[in-house]
Chains A and B, each alone.
Chain A
Amino acid sequence: KQEVTQIPAALSVPEGENLVLNCSFTDSAIYNLQWFRQDPGKGLTSLLLIQSSQREQTSGRLNASLDKSSGRSTLYIAASQPGDSATYLCAVVNTGTASKLTFGTGTRLQVTL
């Protein structure tokens, strides 16, 4: 059974810092990995999707990497801003279960002024 872990559970950084969020998964047989953002009381917004054949994806100040063999992904946020404050979730789709995302429990990020 796939298990997805995110460390740290919570993180507080001052504005302007670069930061890294970590995601690990136990079963490397995945189709893809997605990073999402969830604001309080809101649904999830997809940030980046990395296919299993890819090593990284970039969107603006966000860069996500994937090391499938070691079961790890990182989300790098450059020059953090208070508007980046949210919970960040990673999720994987396993081969053979193309319908289901297995989610981590998230990292709650606060960027302070």
Chain B
Amino acid sequence: GAGVSQSPSNKVTEKGKDVELRCDPISGHTALYWYRQSLGQGLEFLIYFQGNSAPDKSGLPSDRFSAERTGGSVSTLTIQRTQQEDSAVYLCASSQGPSAGNTIYFGEGSWLTVV
């Protein structure tokens, strides 16, 4: 596609429910990232996928968070048993290779509200 696509754009869920957020990276981009932006906070790294390598999960805040990337393209971020503090914008990004040498392109985010 022309850009990074994320869905849903907005999600309101009840505390304790599971949610899935989807990301379609730019075609041909091997690197995919998830970041979280809480109200009034900076962007927080969550997870990084690069090609067929094992993902860097070091930013996931708890074991309620998981992500997968199928076929080296689409990625899904899953939050189990959501809590109110999970309310944030979840941003996906992709780049042609590792961010060390490549411009990174962001989607418009999935706005999650846990009530």
Contact = CB atoms under 8 A, between A and B. Distances in A.
A101 B108 contact: no
Contact of B91 (A43, A93, A98, A102): A43
Contacts of B105: 46
Contacts of A102: 45
Interface residues of B, number: 25
Interface size class of A (residues with CB under 8 A): 20 to 34
Given A43-B91, A93-B99, A106-B42, A101 B107 contact: no
A34 B104 contact: yes
30 contacts: A31-B99, A31-B101, A32-B100, A36-B106, A42-B108, A43-B4, A43-B91, A43-B108, A43-B109, A44-B43, A46-B103, A46-B104, A46-B106, A89-B42, A89-B43, A91-B43, A93-B100, A98-B98, A98-B99, A98-B100, A99-B33, A99-B48, A99-B50, A99-B98, A100-B48, A100-B59, A101-B43, A101-B99, A105-B41, A105-B42
